[in-house]
Amino acid sequence: MASRNSILNQRKDIWETFPVSLKPLGRGADGAERHAVVWNRKNVATMRSKIPNVENWIHCEMNIQTTLMNALNSNPRWVVEPSYTAQQICILRMVFGENRTNAEQYTTDTTPVLTCLNDINKFFPVAIWHEQLQTQSTRKVYSIELSCKKLKEYSRILGKDVTGEQTNKLLDALRASTAWRVLPTMNAHELCWIEIQ
């Protein structure tokens, strides 16, 4: 488990300290080597299996992401840049002989890591899903919807309409997961479909 004062001297320290992986992206137009920082689904699932309470997962993962970003931003060997896709936490641009003191620190909003279908309800209690019958695919496909009843109750408790906020957060989390592929839907009452990988 990462501590608040995690020090990352080399790239391997990142995945040895945090439940993430680094994906090489090659060199950009500026010649700098880049790596995407992504959640390691297996390591996140292992961590969650040791924490019985879902609320504690959320708190723990928010702390891990904050600690990760602070540790990444404090290393002069790379610059932290915004992610290119929803699956990425951020991008590391390697620094060679360049002064990094003027680089801006980048932070990211916490998007829940969804490792399996049940995580959808744990992090988004307003969401429901239904398995779709597929004749041509061997993979399972589910439609994802927002429960109008649960949305009304949640909005009433918070004193504001949370439909748009919950829709955007859920779609971001679904797209960021490597457990499935997000597919469009033709039904107006459905948010999307997901095909289990």
Mean pLDDT by 10 residues, the chain (197 residues): 68 94 87 91 90 83 90 90 87 74 56 87 89 79 92 82 90 90 90 91
Residues 91 and 82: beta-carbon distance below 8 Å:
yes
pTM to 2 decimals?
0.64
Strand partners, 91: 36, 81
Contacts of 3 (CB under 8 A, 6+ apart): 67
111-142: per-residue pLDDT in tens? 788 888 988 988 888 999 999 887 677 889 99
15-33: per-residue pLDDT in tens? 999 999 999 998 877 788 9
Going from N- to C-terminal start, the domains of the chain cover 11-94, 117-196
Find the angle CA(63)-CA(65)-CA(68) to the nearest 5 degrees: 105
Total count of residues recorded for the chain: 197
